[in-house]
Structure formats: structure tokens, C-alpha cells
Structure 1
Amino acid sequence: MKVIIVEDEPRVRKGLSEAVDWSRLGMQLVGTACNGEEGWELFQSERPDLVIADIRMPIMDGLEMTRRIFEQAPETKVMIISGHDEFEYAQRCVSLGVQNYLLKPVGRRELAAELEKIMGDWRSERHLREQASQYQRKLRAHLQQLRSVFLEEWLGGSGHRTVTELMESLSFLEIRLNPETVASVAIFELDGDKKPAYSVSDRRLLEFALHNLLEELLAGRGAAYQRGNGQTVVIYQDETDEDAEGFQAWVHVSKEHAGGLLRVGVTAAVGPQAVPLTELPMMFQEAQRILGLKLSLGSGLVLQECMIRPVHEQLAVLHESYESLLVHGVELNDSEEIRRVLEQHFSKWTESKEIPFAEEIFFQFTGLFTKLAHRLGKSIRDYLGAEDLKKWQQPELFRSMDEIKNWWIRRFNDLSDSYQGFRADRKTKIIQQVMQYVDEHMDENITRKDAAGHVFINSSYLSRLFKEVTGDSFSNYVLNRKMERAIHLLQVERVMVYEVADRLGYKDPSYFARVFKKHTGKSPSDFQ
């Protein structure tokens, strides 16, 4: 701790200089002065941590010198030693911020005790200043990251913020946004290629470069940050042009400029309108929704709300019947059925291109695929490589609906290969369900299509499966069961022939009689 003494009386000045062992106290006396003016000059040259001064001195008194010192270096410690025990002096010292005030004459012990107290306070305050400085350095080092985290949480709707709370956070993070000016938002992202030409690290560098270019093009008219998925979000404010068309023009120019410099495709999605800052999170969420248009409209565009086509028909939904058909196809390793179900599900949207957000179709299958994988005790990562997993997590990487459809056909076929041990039991259970259906609908004209629909498979596959499991055809099985039932009704229950025909779904008793005789070699009346 560096110390100077400012005292106009030579004897007192010398006495103070020699009164204590400065080094023992951890202090260093670096100079003395005989008046306030010299003391001020000495302070400016030595920058001491402690100034010991009298009040009444020629040219410049101690109070004026203290005022100047605190004005330039408020952390400096000042000890006033005065021969005047007057309330006015003490009051003025306190008003200046002086905390240490002694009356002359000052004894060695009293001076040493006061200096030790000052030293202790100084060390504590220096420690706090060092901690604060260290905190500021860390804050400065991570400021960009902290800004990104805050903006992502705010725009993502994490926690309600008043204008005051919002501005306090923006000010603390040095984000220059004006609460009095409306703002617009846009999301930029690199386009994904069918055959990626860049490694993961190269893509990250390109995303970082895209962010830096956009921030530079923004030129202080708002703020920009990079999201964890590589996208850059731009918050645009221009006090001279609050028109949304001006922002859209900037987005178009910036997208083309950045894409041209980096030699990559860039897609941007623009929030619907310019709004006050507190409403900007809603526009950000709308921009995210609009970015989904990329899957159906293509990449390399500036996507806007006006591009969303009104959907007059019901959106494609994976209905329970389709899901059951797909499950059966997977469990029975029927690749033809898997392709048929998926192509039928995708066909009308592939042709009409009216669905605005293709990922809504993609995510209908993720839960089903996961459930089927877990049924085998496996994870989806057992079936997905790095690139496929990335598309699973980011379906916007797909370029078309056909690409999504073919991707799912491959995934479900891969999964189906794992169901070999499950398959035999599953086939038997399906045929048992079909047989039960036949028994429960004996009074109807049972068709192969009706039975197949009952177990959610197609009729041609039911024919193959029934033959594989039972060794007989489905139609022969139905006929045999009906004839067995007819014999029971005729012999045991003594039911009339026309009534037996009705109970077995035959509307024409004569036709029933012919079928019965052909099957048994006897007429129905022979069994009565």
C-alpha cells in the first residue's frame, strides 16, 4: 500500500513520517508535501492508495485536495489529521467520503491502530475489486455466448418479461435494441445437400462465417446471434425505416450477398410483421414455422407468410388403419406392403404439394418407429447411422416429399429384418384372429377383403399368409366351416333347410343345397 503525507507543519510532517514502521504494516511511504497544491501534484505522480493530510494548509486546503482526489480516484483512502475539533470540519469530511479522522496531537499507538484498520479495509476492498474485475473479464470473454443464450430464451418464450426487465437485461448484455422502435426478425440457415460436400467441422465454420457476415451487414441496426443448430437469427431495427418491406429487401440482399461470398445455398424465413420488442417472441415462433416451408417449396428462398397455401382438405394423418397395416408389414417382413402403405400415404401430398410443413408428416412416423424398435429391446440408434440420425433430428435437411417417403421405406424395411424371431408367432396370431372372425360372422357372406380388413392387412397378403400357416386356402376354410355348421344345424338342432341357408349367409336355399351336396356328396335332407 503506497502512502503520502500532506502537512504544512514540518515538525508534524517529520513526526508522522517516523511515527510507525511502515513496512511492518505492509505500507510504503512514497513522498510528503507541504500544502494541498503540492499534495495534489504528488498524488497525480505517485498514485498512492492512502493520503494522510491536514485540513488547514496554504494555497490549497486539505478538503479541496481531497475533493479532487475522490473525483479522480474514488477508491483512494484519505485520513484527515486536524487540530480543529469542530463539527463543521468533521461534517465536510464525511460529506466528501472521508472515513478516517484523527485529532492532533496523534500518539504512535493511536496512529498505528488507525493505519492497521485502514490497511484491513483496503485489503478487503481490493479483494472485492479484484473479484469484480475477474468477473468482468469472464463476462467479457463469454459475452457473445451469454447474449445468444439470453436472446434464444427470450425469443423462445422462456419466462414473461416486462419492458423494464427486458431493457435491464439488454443493457447488461450490451445488446443495442430500442424499446421505442418496432423490430422484425428473420432466421437464416445453410441449405443441406443431398450429398453433403462438407464435413461437420467445415459446415460449422461456414455457419459461423454466415453469422459474422450477417452481423456485419446488419451494421448496428439491431442484433444477430447464432443458435445451437447453426442458424443465425437477426433482429432488425431501423429508426429511419420501420416499414416491413425495407426489412424484407435487406433480407433478400443479405441472403444473396452471404451466399455468393461463401458459395453456399442460404434459406431465410421472415417473421410476418414488425412489432414492439415485447411481441417479438411471437414473430420468432412464426418465422420458425414459416421456415418449414423449405421442405415443400425448396431451398435457397426467402420464405414469407404469404407463401403458405391455404389447405382446403384434411391434412395427411397416419390413421390407425394405416398404422396397423404398416406394423403388420414390418412384423411379417412384407416389403411390398410397407412400400404400398407408405406410397399411398404420401401420394396425394407428393402430387398436390399443398401441405405447407412437410415435417408434420415426417414426425408421424418417428413415434411408431421408436415403439417398434423398443419392442425388440433396441434403440433407434441401432438402425440409424450418423447421417440418418441427423435427418431424424432435423427433417428440414430433406429436399422433397419423395425423399422423405423413400427414407422411411428404407428405415422400416431395415427394422423389419430384425423381426425374424417374432414373425412366426405373429403370423399364427393373425390367422387365429381371421378364423375367429369367420366363426363370428358365419351368418354373412364372408369375403377375403372383409377378413383382411379385420386384421388390417390387404387381401392378397391374407391369401398368401393363410396358405402358409394352414396349408389350405382361405375360401376353402370358410366353405368347410360353413358346411360343418350346416351339418350340426341339420342333425342336432333339426333346423329346416331354408333356415340353415339363411343362418349361413346364403340368400338362395336352392343354391345352398347345391353347394352342400357338392361338398358332402349328399343333399341337406339326407341329414335330417
Structure 2
Amino acid sequence: MNLMIVEDEIRIRNGLANGIAWESHGIEVVGLAADGKEALAMMEQRKPDILLLDIEMPEMNGLALAETVLQQEPQMKIVILSGHNDFHYAQRAIELGVMKYLLKPAGDQEIIAAVTEAARQIRQSLMEKHNVEELKRLWQSRLPQLQNDFLRNWIMNRYAEWEWRKQAMELNVGITGYTRFLVCVCEIDPLGEDETRFTAADSSLLQFSLECIAKEFVDPTVCQAFNDANGSTVLLFFAQEGEPDSELTKRANTVVSRLLQVVEECLKLTASAGLGTVFGPSEVVHSYRQARRALQERTVYGHAIAIPYLEVKKEEGTLEFNPNFERQLEIAIQTDEVDQANGLIEEYLQHAFSHASAELVHEYVLYLSGVFTRFIQSRGFSMKKVLQADYPIFRSLDSLTTKDQIMEWAKRVVGEVWYYMDSERRQCSHQMVKKILESVEKHLAEDLSLHSFSERLFVNPSYLSRLFKKETGESFSNYVLTRRMELAKELLTAGAKVYDAANAVGYQDVSYFAKVFRKYFGVAPSDLRPVPQNNSQK
């Protein structure tokens, strides 16, 4: 530890420097100064840790030196050795932060004790600082993974509300001020047969690349990117203050669609995404499950697409159900894991059959029927519509008399529930396309674009385009062209002028209309107008 002695009396200065065995106490005298001004000039080069100084000195006194030094080096330790037994001097020294105030003539042991105590405090402060810095370094290095783990657990509904709020604040995740969330799940699409750069063994690497691109692409102030337990990239969007759910949905669609384009540009591979709907913080798990379910629809709509979850409209009220066995069964059915659902049923009933009491087995069957009933009715479905031929069995469970009958009945119901839910989802898509078709018929004279319909329905244009083609068998643009040409033909054959027919189907430029019409039908519009009859009598 380095010591500088500042004393105007040369005898005392030399005595302090040479009369005490500083080395034996781990102290090295690195400088001697006659006043404060000289001490300041030496300090930059000598780098003392401790100052032992007098107060009364020419040029700059000890208190002025202490004030200047502590402003520049607040960690410096200062011991004053003064001949002034003045309260005001001591008070000012304490105000400045001087460690010790000794009165002359202080003994060597008293001086040594003060200086070595200063050295001890410096060493302790350095040790604590280094430990804190190391802890901060370790914390910062682990923070991204801790944040990822927290978000992953949160969307899986593994925290009570107070827990996730506390963890979010401690990990500086930055979501506690938001009340509405939307989850999107992104994955690299299955590799095609013509792909030569990568194989199935590279799937983890490709998913990691997708996550890295997403983290660089999204704005962390409005969306968090992380990975879930499956390695998929999850985007968690949060609504800004005053932003309606519809606007959050539209914004998420826009961001995700652009992200998929960026991924394709960077990796020369396609990725797809599923988008859930908007929920509050304690219900984010539902948005996540919806997003995963929507992503599975790429087997129907193709790759390189963002697919929204289609809500199924409820027909009646809802019932609450137990989250343990029922929740596992619910997740399996909702995510199309019918085999997994049947496995849960099988495990449950095997446990029921292990009981010798027929009455106890019957209670297990009653409970299972209640699980199915709550599951169906909680979605607003009609029991009779869903179960059809199996509906009477729910009213007379005593008709199930053997283990095989019970097992077959339970698995059959699982299949019926899944099939009905899948049909309802597809019906939603039918309804969406039906609305578009009806709107097209009413507005053929106006500017029609898929983009305007996608904004109105809160879905992205790519998804809507593929949905339309899947339902109608042709592209949206071709369909609109066909309807316009057919209507124009009807009007012309009924006697309408070419100009009026063109305007009726959205063409302001008559010559361009005539060109399109000729290309479509192979004849000019004027050729379809009826020839006037000559009614004169001979």
C-alpha cells in the first residue's frame, strides 16, 4: 500500500518517513512533499493510496489539499496529523471525509495504527468491489438465459401472478407494465427433397439461426423473442397503451410476415408461423397454445406463411373444469395429438380397472364422462351434435358393462370431439371466404384487393390468399376477373353500352376494358351487343 507524507517541517517529515519501519506493515512511502501544491504535482506520478498530512502549510494547507484530493479520488484515505486542537478544524476534516484526525505529538504506534487501519479499509473495499464486479459480470452473462427461461415458463402457465411479476422485475424483462399480449410461434419449414445444403440433423442449428434473426429483427420494446421447450422461436407481442386488440393483431401479422421474408432472404430456406389471439398476462398460455395449433395448419396451407388461429364461436355458456388430468387431455385434443389423448385415456382407465370394486370403476367412468361433458360444453358445443350416436350412452352409462366397451367408448368419444373441433375450425375458414365472395359480388364496380380484405379481417394477405385458393380452387385475382367479365357479358347481351358495362365492373378506361374482354372471351365487347331488328312491313 502506497503512502505519501505531506509536512512543511523537514525534521518531522523525515522523521515520519525514516523513523518508522513502514515496510514491516506492508506500507511503502512513495513521496514526501512540503506543502499541498507540491503534493498535488507528485500524486499523478506516485499514485499514493494513503495521505499522512499536516494542516498548517504554505501555498495550500492540509484541509484544502484533502478537499481537492477527495473530489478527484474519493477512495483515497487521509490521516491528518495536526498541532491544532481546534474543534472547527476537526469538524471540517470529518465533513470532508478524512479518516483519522491525530494531534501532535502523536506517538509512532498511534500513527502506525491509523495508517495500517486505512490500508486495511482500502484492501477490504477493493476485495468487495472486485467481488461485486465479478458477480455483476456473471449475472450479466447469465441474464439472457434466465430471461429466456422465465418467458418460457411464463407462457406455459408455471407461475402465479405475483411470481411472474416479481421475476419479470428482477430479471428486467420489461413486460410488467403491459396488460394485453399475443404469442406467435415460428419454425423453419421441413426441408424439401431437393435441399442439398442441410439435412434433418441440422434442424436445431436452423432453429437457432431463426431465433437469432428474430432477435435482431424485432424491436424489444414492443416484442420479446425467445425459444420454447421445443426449440421453436416464440415472439411475444405486447399492446401499447391505448392500442386495441385488433391493432395489436394487425401489427403482429405485419411484423411476422416481414420476418419470414427476412429469414428466407438470409437462409435461403422458408419458415412459417402460427399466431394466437390476444389475452391478459395470466392467460398468455392460451395464446401460446393457439399459436402452436395454428402452426400445424401449414400442412394444409403450405410453407412460408403466417397462419392465424381461427376462433370457434361458442353456441352456449361455458363450464369450469379441473386443470390436472383434464388439462392434459384438453391440450392433446386441441393440438391434434389424438394418439397422445388416447394414451392418457388408456392410462386413466387401466388405473380404474385395477380396482376390484365394480362400483368404484363406475365412478371412474362417471368422472370421465364429466370430463368429456365439461370439455365439450366449455367450448359452447352441443353434446348431441358432437357425440351423435354416442350421445345416448352419456344418459345411460350403465350400458357399458365390460372393460373393452368402456375403453372403446372413451377412445371413440376422443375421436368424435377432435373431429367436431376440426370441422368447426374449417367452417370458420369457409365463413371467412364466404364473406369475401359476398363482398366481391356487391363491389365489382370498386377497386378490389386482397390486401384490403386482409386488413378488414385482421389476417395477413399471404394466409388469406392461400385460404381463398384452397376454398375456391382459384386465386383471388382470377376469381374477381371471372366475375367481372361474366357480369360485363350479361350487361352487354342485355343491351348495355360498352362504356356502361365497363364502369359497372370497375374499369374507367374503356379501351383497356375492351382489351381485357377480348383476351378473356376472344371477341370484342361490341360484338355481343344485340343487333337492332327492322320491324317495317312490306
| TM-score (norm. length: structure 2) | 0.52
For the residues of structure 1 that align with 2:190 and 2:74, how far apart are their CA atoms?
Answer: 60
Q: In the alignment, what sits opposite 1:363?
A: 340
Conserved in 2, the CA contact under 8 Å of 1:186 and 1:268? no
Distance verdict in 2 for CA 1:358–1:67, change over 3 Å: same
Deviations 1:136-165 (A, max 9, x none): 222232222222233334554524349995
Q: In the alignment, what sits opposite 1:302?
A: 306
For the residues of structure 2 that align with 1:21 and 1:287, how far apart are their CA atoms?
Answer: 72
Matched, 1:63 2:63: yes
Deviations 1:328-370 (A, max 9, x none): xxxxxxxxxxxxxxxxxxxxxxxxxxx9933463431233566
Distance verdict in 2 for CA 1:32–1:208, change over 3 Å: farther
Conserved in 2, the CA contact under 8 Å of 1:293 and 1:357? no
For the residues of structure 2 that align with 1:98 and 1:229, how far apart are their CA atoms?
Answer: 60
Conserved in 1, the CA contact under 8 Å of 2:272 and 2:298? no
Aligned positions, number: 338
Deviations 1:277-296 (A, max 9, x none): xx545335423333222334
Amino acid at match of 1:310: K
For the residues of structure 2 that align with 1:169 and 1:195, how far apart are their CA atoms?
Answer: 44
Amino acid at match of 2:185: F
Shift, 1:253, TM fit: 0.7
Q: In the alignment, what sits opposite 1:187?
A: 184
Q: In the alignment, what sits opposite 2:382?
A: none
Matched, 1:39 2:17: no
Q: In the alignment, what sits opposite 1:9?
A: 9
Distance verdict in 2 for CA 1:178–1:297, change over 3 Å: closer
Bigger radius of gyration, 1 or 2? 1
3-state SS of 2:114 partner? helix
Distance verdict in 2 for CA 1:40–1:201, change over 3 Å: farther
For the residues of structure 2 that align with 1:81 and 1:194, how far apart are their CA atoms?
Answer: 81
Conserved in 2, the CA contact under 8 Å of 1:236 and 1:247? yes
Amino acid at match of 1:50: I
Q: In the alignment, what sits opposite 1:54?
A: 54
Long gaps (5+) in structure 1: 314-354, 376-451, 459-528
Shift, 1:55, TM fit: 3.2
For the residues of structure 1 that align with 2:19 and 2:192, how far apart are their CA atoms?
Answer: 84
Distance verdict in 2 for CA 1:110–1:150, change over 3 Å: same
Shift, 1:217, TM fit: 1.0
3-state SS of 2:20 partner? coil
Q: In the alignment, what sits opposite 1:398?
A: none
For the residues of structure 1 that align with 2:150 and 2:64, how far apart are their CA atoms?
Answer: 46
Deviations 1:301-346 (A, max 9, x none): 42434x2333769xxxxxxxxxxxxxxxxxxxxxxxxxxxxxxxxx
For the residues of structure 2 that align with 1:69 and 1:181, how far apart are their CA atoms?
Answer: 48
Shift, 1:166, TM fit: 6.3
For the residues of structure 1 that align with 2:56 and 2:124, how far apart are their CA atoms?
Answer: 31
For the residues of structure 1 that align with 2:184 and 2:126, how far apart are their CA atoms?
Answer: 46
For the residues of structure 2 that align with 1:356 and 1:297, how far apart are their CA atoms?
Answer: 18
Conserved in 1, the CA contact under 8 Å of 2:181 and 2:239? no
3-state SS of 2:190 partner? coil
Deviations 1:98-145 (A, max 9, x none): 332222222211112222322333332222222212212222322222
Conserved in 2, the CA contact under 8 Å of 1:189 and 1:230? no
Distance verdict in 2 for CA 1:296–1:45, change over 3 Å: same
Q: In the alignment, what sits opposite 2:73?
A: 73
Which has the larger displacement, 250-259 or 49-58? 49-58
For the residues of structure 2 that align with 1:5 and 1:82, how far apart are their CA atoms?
Answer: 13
Distance verdict in 2 for CA 1:457–1:238, change over 3 Å: closer
3-state SS of 1:119 partner? helix
For the residues of structure 2 that align with 1:94 and 1:190, how far apart are their CA atoms?
Answer: 65
3-state SS of 2:334 partner? coil
Distance verdict in 2 for CA 1:67–1:267, change over 3 Å: farther
Matched, 1:103 2:80: no
Q: In the alignment, what sits opposite 1:482?
A: none
Q: In the alignment, what sits opposite 2:85?
A: 85
Long gaps (5+) in structure 2: 317-331, 353-398, 406-538
For the residues of structure 1 that align with 2:242 and 2:257, how far apart are their CA atoms?
Answer: 16
Q: In the alignment, what sits opposite 1:341?
A: none
Conserved in 2, the CA contact under 8 Å of 1:191 and 1:265? yes
Q: In the alignment, what sits opposite 1:262?
A: 267
Conserved in 1, the CA contact under 8 Å of 2:276 and 2:290? no
Q: In the alignment, what sits opposite 1:521?
A: none
Q: In the alignment, what sits opposite 1:124?
A: 124
Conserved in 2, the CA contact under 8 Å of 1:6 and 1:51? yes
3-state SS of 1:291 partner? helix
Distance verdict in 2 for CA 1:225–1:22, change over 3 Å: farther
For the residues of structure 1 that align with 2:101 and 2:3, how far apart are their CA atoms?
Answer: 16
Q: In the alignment, what sits opposite 2:170?
A: 169
For the residues of structure 2 that align with 1:195 and 1:236, how far apart are their CA atoms?
Answer: 31
Amino acid at match of 2:231: G
Amino acid at match of 2:343: T
For the residues of structure 2 that align with 1:46 and 1:142, how far apart are their CA atoms?
Answer: 40
Shift, 1:374, TM fit: 11
Q: In the alignment, what sits opposite 1:288?
A: 289
Distance verdict in 2 for CA 1:294–1:236, change over 3 Å: closer
Q: In the alignment, what sits opposite 1:403?
A: none
Which has the larger displacement, 294-303 or 178-187? 178-187
Distance verdict in 2 for CA 1:205–1:296, change over 3 Å: closer
Distance verdict in 2 for CA 1:310–1:159, change over 3 Å: closer
For the residues of structure 2 that align with 1:84 and 1:111, how far apart are their CA atoms?
Answer: 16
Q: In the alignment, what sits opposite 2:210?
A: 210
Deviations 1:454-504 (A, max 9, x none): 54669xxxxxxxxxxxxxxxxxxxxxxxxxxxxxxxxxxxxxxxxxxxxxx
Conserved in 2, the CA contact under 8 Å of 1:269 and 1:288? no
For the residues of structure 2 that align with 1:69 and 1:159, how far apart are their CA atoms?
Answer: 53
3-state SS of 1:139 partner? helix
Distance verdict in 2 for CA 1:372–1:308, change over 3 Å: same
Q: In the alignment, what sits opposite 1:385?
A: none
Shift, 1:87, TM fit: 2.4
Q: In the alignment, what sits opposite 2:148?
A: 148
User: Matched residues, percent identical?
Assistant: 23
Amino acid at match of 1:357: Q
Q: In the alignment, what sits opposite 1:478?
A: none
Distance verdict in 2 for CA 1:179–1:364, change over 3 Å: closer
For the residues of structure 1 that align with 2:186 and 2:344, how far apart are their CA atoms?
Answer: 27
3-state SS of 1:210 partner? helix
For the residues of structure 2 that align with 1:11 and 1:47, how far apart are their CA atoms?
Answer: 24
